[in-house]
Amino acid sequence: MSERFDVVVIGGGIVGLASARAIHARRPSASIAVLEKESSVAAHQTGHNSGVVHSGVYYRPGSLKAELCLTGRRLLLDFAEARGIRTSPIGKFIVASRAEELPALEMLEGRARANHVPSVRRIDAGELKARAPGVEGVAALDIPTAAIIDYPAVARALAEDLAVVGGVRTGSRVRATTARGDGWTLDTVAGEVDAGFVVNCAGLECDLVAGLMGVRAPVAIVPFRGDYYHLGDRVRSTITSLIYPLPDPEMPFLGVHLTPMIDGSLLAGPNAAIAFAREGYRPGTFDPRELQRLSVFPGSLGMLRRYGGIAAREWLRSWGPAEFLAAIRVLYPAARRTDLGARTSGVRAQAVRPDGSMEDDFVFVHGPGALHVLNAPSPAATASFAIGERVAAEAGFASAS
């Protein structure tokens, strides 16, 4: 016999777990289960990211990213404090390396103002040098509210809290679905689960899960791998803040940056190379099904036309340290090949429209008896608690207050 829950969330990343939490807060009597295909929560994007709590500077004023990043970061930091999860308010510098980048820096300063990000201030080359030794630029934005956090610890704490209402079922890949008059039967590798309502937060597989539930997603997920290098003590001992370049305005990614992590290590990355596998954590991983999907996806050609040059550069950067070192040296000119240590990577779920352009905002799509989160890339970890609130509201669970 299958188990039945009022609500089933597919995906035990931070967005799925925060959505389950928000639904529970609004409907305490509802039984809620989270189905996760891996053996633990936070196994993909949530556990393979830069660990940054963003401040809300980059995002188009009025966008969901701007709104939910600002409200979500506060909810996230409050939760972390209440649960004793480590965070550190180390601040960020966004650096203009050349005079030609100053208009872009000014544009970001304007966005920070429009998004009501507190305490953002332009600093000159001298102040940057004094506050971030070894970092060079002609000017920078000083963003003191940026922080770092342990996202997997947040996900584990959320999962613990859900145990009382249903809990997280790991090892439960959803592989087929059947619509019923009163909800869904989800066929998982661990058996059948019945759901009154389903929330799809399957990250890298969210469009595939939507397809299983009869929804033709308006976007397709293209996996973009981000590689990082650990930097050795020589650089690590000098970098105490987040150091970011100005982002490429053509891309929704933030560029190779220097990131002190909550465990005390220092990472440089991530680049953004198309991965030919949803979980393609290593260059050279090809999933024939993914290649087949890309070959019939109408957006592939448009994507190649729009981003072909950038894609080739990022692809090269993912194969060896030389191109990577060049990107690091833009921010930290004294970096040497010997500073680069072990490599690690994450894969972003980035939605692409049928015309090949990248979707720049979070996307929620209603389906019968379900809500599908179809684009939740960065800053979705920062915004996760606010995304959860949005999901609960869109799914029709009235606010408790």
Which residues of the shown chain bind ligand FAD in the complex (CB under 6 A)? Answer: 10-16, 35-38, 43-46, 48-52, 54, 173-174, 201-205, 209, 226, 270, 346-348, 376-382
| Shortest distance (Å) from residue 272 CB to ligand FAD | 8
- Partners of 228 in beta bridges: 344
The CB-nearest residue to ligand FAD is 13
| Shortest distance (Å) from residue 97 CB to ligand FAD | 21
Whether the Cβ atoms of residue 169 and residue 35 lie closer than 8 Å to each other? yes
Region label for 145, one of left (φ > 0), alpha (ψ between -120 and 50) or beta (otherwise): alpha
SS3 266: strand
Nearer Cβ to ligand FAD, position 48 or 372? 48
CA angle 177, 41, 176 (to 5 degrees): 10
Nearer Cβ to ligand FAD, position 51 or 91? 51
φ, ψ for residue 229, nearest 5 deg: -115, 140
- CA nearest to 342, candidates 244, 238, 269, 396: 269
Nearer Cβ to ligand FAD, position 137 or 203? 203
Residue 185: other Cβ atoms inside 10 A: 15
| Shortest distance (Å) from residue 102 CB to ligand FAD | 26
Nearer Cβ to ligand FAD, position 132 or 351? 351
Question: What type of residue is 93?
Answer: F
| Shortest distance (Å) from residue 143 CB to ligand FAD | 13
Nearer Cβ to ligand FAD, position 94 or 139? 94
- CA nearest to 49, candidates 217, 197, 261: 261
| Shortest distance (Å) from residue 344 CB to ligand FAD | 9
Nearer Cβ to ligand FAD, position 139 or 224? 224
Pairing, β 242-245 against β 220-231: unpaired
| Shortest distance (Å) from residue 287 CB to ligand FAD | 14
